Amino acid sequence: MFARLVRRLAAAALVLVAAAPLASHASLPPVVDGQPLPSLAPMLEKVTPAVVNISTKTRVQVRNPFFDDPVFREFFGRQGGSRSRIEQSLGSGVIVDAAKGYVLTNHHVVGGADDITVTLQDGRDFKGKLVGTDPDTDLAVVQIQGTGLQALPMADSSRLRVGDFVVAVGDPFGLGQTVTSGIVSALSRSGLGGTGYQNFIQTDASINPGNSGGALVNLRGELVGINTMIFSPSGGNVGIGFAIPTNLASEVMQQLVTNGKVNRGNLGVETQDITPRIAKVLNLKDTNGAVVTRVTTGSAAESADLQMGDVITAINGKPLRNAQELRNAEGLLPLGSTVKLGVLRNGTAREVTTKLTPEKLATLDGAKLDPRLAGVTFSELPQNLRGQGISGVGVSAVRNGSRAAQAGLQGTDIVIGVGNLRVPDLRTLQRLAGVNPRQLVLVVSGDDGVRYVDVR
């Protein structure tokens, strides 16, 4: 069929040339045998005005490591120990509510930014306000104030099928708005590293750096996903890109707009993958599922009578292959959801029902550790981070103007060390905070990588 169409086009072009030998140029006819030529242009004329460029500026503290030495600092003074530089980045976004100016994008595009500029296809620039961000799904909402905005309608991403045609729109490499096309290569991809909860659409539509936060649309011009990452050994497109489904993005966006953050439920259970050796010890037929290693007191798991050594085989009727799939399902369900778990205990299968409850994290007032940490609240890391093998102590709040804030400590940081000593949990932080009364240097991990914070 395609070859026949090409022959018809070629014949039509020859007729035009023969009939008009004096014409300076010729174009393809709009129709062939009465049929219009296929084109995505009409659909894209409605889509592209809703896809924006996002540029950010972030002030980053850069510490001179020589100033960790008290002798060096005393000799040269305190000036110059910490300096700042401005980092700039580019990404994309999608207007999803024209009346309120809401723009969906990725957390890694705008998270931690001090200044956000949103540029429309028509060249207009707007200052963006960060409404909320969710690192666990790599989603964020930015708001702009402007007239004549155009939004994209959201499709039901659960109706996507492998093989459906899709189009990616964004601003790769800062070149300007670019459109690429492909198909849905796979659905429900997870276990890729990076974000805590994953349920990606995989596509071979070309996605490159700068496309992050851009639109993945179907052939009706409806938003089906937010482009977020690629798999590539070289850093460029190799035909394996990933997008966050709109059903997930819309749920996260609703919470970000309402609360500024996402409140997630928690089963209160820690699990691990089942290795062949564990399967043999537990007398299991295969390695599918997740074995329970800890049940938190007062949690939903305890109320459901889950015990260490139980094997969770399914959640809400969907079989589980590993612990990551359980964490994904737990994190993507709304707070208060009723959850049915398939459980295997001592070779006997049963089903238990419970509800996702808010996770209760132990907290600690920084002033009780050291006067220099007054105004800081430390907390235990949530289960989803611990499940990824991340250890440390979360910084849940930093009071403006406090010593810690002036030193550069931020409310999204994770303390992983004090001086040259590792801090895996709150108990260790309590023990190490007062070890050196003269110097308090925290090693923290944040949006801008690992750095030292010297609190004086």
**Contact (CB, 8 A) for 40 and 219:** yes
- At 215 the three-state DSSP class reads strand
> Cα Rg for the chain, rounded, in angstroms?
27
* Distant-in-sequence, close-in-space partners of 240: CB < 8 Å, separation ≥ 6: 185, 202, 204, 230, 231, 232
Structure tokens at 128: 């963006």
- The band of 13, judged by pLDDT with boundaries at 50, 70 and 90, is very low
Structure tokens at 320: 């589980």
Tell me the C-alpha distance between 176 and 243, whole Å. 20
- At 383 the three-state DSSP class reads helix
Note the pLDDT of residue 32: 63
277: left (phi over 0), alpha (psi -120 to 50) or beta: alpha
Phi and psi dihedrals of 301, rounded to 5? Answer: -65, -40
- The band of 435, judged by pLDDT with boundaries at 50, 70 and 90, is low
CA distances from 185 to 60, 104, 189, 223, 318 (A): 38, 23, 10, 17, 22
Residue 217 has pLDDT above 90, yes or no: yes
Structure tokens at 392: 């440390």
Helix (H) or strand (E) holding 396: strand 393-398
Q: Which domains does the chain have, with CATH numbers?
A: 2-38 (no CATH), 43-263 (2.40.10.120), 265-358 (2.30.42.10), 363-455 (2.30.42.10)
Note the pLDDT of residue 410: 86
Cross-strand pairs, 290: 273, 312
Residue 455 has pLDDT above 80, yes or no: yes
- The band of 170, judged by pLDDT with boundaries at 50, 70 and 90, is confident
* H-state helical runs in 158-310: 246-259, 276-281, 300-303
CA distances from 275 to 93, 177, 209, 278, 289 (A): 41, 47, 37, 5, 10
Residue 404 has pLDDT above 60, yes or no: yes
Residue 232 has pLDDT above 70, yes or no: no
* 11-20, 82-91, 170-179, 370-379: segment of lowest average pLDDT: 11-20
Q: Name the pTM for this structure.
A: 0.68
* Distant-in-sequence, close-in-space partners of 214: CB < 8 Å, separation ≥ 6: 51, 91, 92, 93, 94, 168, 169, 170, 171, 207, 226, 227
Percent of the chain with pLDDT over 90: 27
Residue of 64 and 157 predicted with greater confidence: 157
Tell me the C-alpha distance between 202 and 186, whole Å. 5
Neighbours of 131 (CB within 10 A): 18
Tally the C-alpha atoms within 13 A of residue 299's C-alpha that lie toward its C-beta.
19
Known catalytic residues are 108, 138, 212
Note the pLDDT of residue 353: 92
- Block residue for tokens 């399914």: 314
Query: Cα 360–365–366 angle (5° rounding)?
Result: 130
Tell me the C-alpha distance between 393 and 382, whole Å. 10
User: Average pLDDT for residues 111-132, to the nearest whole number?
Assistant: 88
CA distances from 248 to 255, 265, 285 (A): 11, 15, 34
How many residues comprise the chain? 456
Residue of 436 and 163 predicted with greater confidence: 163
Tally the C-alpha atoms within 13 A of residue 431's C-alpha that lie toward its C-beta.
9
Alpha-carbon dihedral 190, 193, 196, 197, rounded to 10 degrees: -10
Residue 436 has pLDDT above 70, yes or no: no
Structure tokens at 93: 């976004």
Note the pLDDT of residue 310: 92
DSSP letters spanning 50-104: GEEEEEEEEEEEEE-GGGGSHHHHHHH-STTSEEEEEEEEEEEEEEEETTTTEEE
**Side-by-side strand order, sheet with 102-105:** 125-127, 115-119, 51-63, 82-97, 102-105, 139-143, 129-134
Q: How far is CA 243 from the centre of its chain?
A: 10
* 78-92, 190-204, 302-316: segment of lowest average pLDDT: 78-92
